[in-house]
Structure 1
């Protein structure tokens, strides 16, 4: 005897099957979401202070090297024979041709430059030969030198190496026992060794049209006591034209920074625009950092 299934029974069975299928689909969906959450955790917070401190230290000593170069030009060549420097008309240059020194004196009360920064104290440059001539050299020392209340100390050695195939002047610089001391008591220790190519602006007396390509390495201790080393993997570009906008950092290039007891990070200075923004990469994560 055949059993006939009613239409209503079939509809009820289909409805139950639909509900079961929907429940299974939801279970699979939420399980997948949970797995995604497990494999893609939120971006971890990282310490960016070491990156900021190292960049700030390099910026200060780059600034001093550019001032020292102009001071030698201004005092000892016939090209730009003046008694001050373009970055700060209130500074006074004093030359001693017997001892081969030139002194840039910003005074004790503070001298505001065209870059908006207030400097005091002295930068003392001792030289051998015209620094634009291969084989020449100069050393930089400080006498109570400050920038915006920040005390800068240590010494800088500068050696002119040669002119490359493009005719650009290349030189090496070393920062030895560098130290940046802030009014709040924090300090950055900094040593560096760089090779620099002067790619634009050498032929003029304008300090604000220079462009430099820099490679090399540095090491030191951040203001929070973190030791670090760096290596420039793609030459970084410094444009002094950015100083008119109060931007004193490189505008292009890549540097690898290795802090003690922390993950290695890569610093990308951008595409050539004057700004304080860098991209910090740590592992698979990227962070946008604004330098001080």
Structure 2
């Protein structure tokens, strides 16, 4: 009978190989888990971004027509107005499923509170149903530097998502540039299923096209920079920052260009919004792997 002699040195090599193989498997598993967590964090970040962008559009748009005063900055429309067949349509006064109230009514007297009440359900031209109230306090008309609009919410929902927290927009424009600072403070989105996302961000929004036509928003294009942090009900926390300015056209529901970095633990994901075309897709790259993200 043939016997095999295993020396101490041979055993050591075998044990080392086994330990190395196990460590590699654990490392690969951890890396895959962190990549998946980065993907989930990016999706949560995009959901929060879309929800509070919706708030910006409505407070700076619908609020602009309140009581005949130019309070906002986007020509008097929110998601209830858009381009149809090359024409501008769907202004606030053509949609009666929500109400806008202003206090005080006297023109030129500030601070002024504007309440957009969507009631039990109001369907916009984007197909989404909004409920509850968006309450904004304007310290002055938002086209005047130094003015601030602070928004809070009362049972406000976009489809199945409840929106909470505080949203602030401040006009920091100079004589040459139209610039706004947009903050989300202790923001929270909660789905009917119980899933939630918390989000805080500070962004600089600079208008790069359309400054010469303040009452005609169709040519408005904004450049967005900044960053923030978030967490979700799955126990994931992350940070985000702008690597290349995000480009948002008034005529497009989504960011069409620019690059964000999403940080989760030691993993950096790079989210590229494209070349300027209007679509709801973005490319997320993690460790050389590319995944297509659908924007809300």
Aligned-partner SS, 2:279? coil
Aligned-partner SS, 2:42? helix
In 2, Cα distance between the equivalents of 1:116 and 1:205? 25
In 2, Cα distance between the equivalents of 1:179 and 1:218? 14
In 2, Cα distance between the equivalents of 1:80 and 1:233? 32
Does residue 104 (structure 1) correspond to residue 116 (structure 2)? The answer is yes
2:197·2:231 contact (CA, 8 Å) conserved in 1?
yes
- Unpaired runs of 5+ residues, structure 1, are 1-40, 244-248
Aligned length: 240
Larger Rg: 1
2:43 to 49, 52, 70: 52
Does residue 74 (structure 1) correspond to residue 68 (structure 2)? The answer is no
Q: Structure 1 residues 78, 142: closer, same or farther in 2, change over 3 A?
A: closer
- TM-score normalised by structure 2 residue count: 0.74
2:79 to 74, 84, 87: 87
- Name the structure 2 match of 1:291: 295
Aligned-partner SS, 2:251? helix
Query: Aligned-pair RMSD on alpha carbons?
Result: 2.6
Q: Structure 1 residues 160, 77: closer, same or farther in 2, change over 3 A?
A: farther
Aligned-partner SS, 2:44? helix
1:155 Cα offset (Å): 0.4
2:60·2:78 contact (CA, 8 Å) conserved in 1?
no
In 2, Cα distance between the equivalents of 1:143 and 1:151? 10
Superposed, which structure 2 residues align to 1:1-292 within 5 Å? 46-47=35-36, 48-78=39-69, 87-88=79-80, 89=95, 90-97=97-104, 100-108=112-120, 110-163=121-174, 165=176, 168-201=177-210, 203=213, 205=215, 210-243=220-253, 249-259=254-264, 261=265, 263-292=267-296
1:222-274 deviations in Å (ceiling 9; x for gaps): 3422100011011101223223xxxxx31110011101x35111111101112
1:142-181 deviations in Å (ceiling 9; x for gaps): 010000121000001111001463xx42110110010011
1:53·1:223 contact (CA, 8 Å) conserved in 2?
no
- Unpaired runs of 5+ residues, structure 2, are 1-27, 81-94
Aligned-partner SS, 2:79? coil
Q: Structure 1 residues 79, 131: closer, same or farther in 2, change over 3 A?
A: closer
1:197·1:212 contact (CA, 8 Å) conserved in 2?
yes
In 1, Cα distance between the equivalents of 2:187 and 2:148? 19
In 2, Cα distance between the equivalents of 1:250 and 1:129? 28
Moved more, 216-225 or 111-120: 216-225
- Name the structure 2 match of 1:9: none
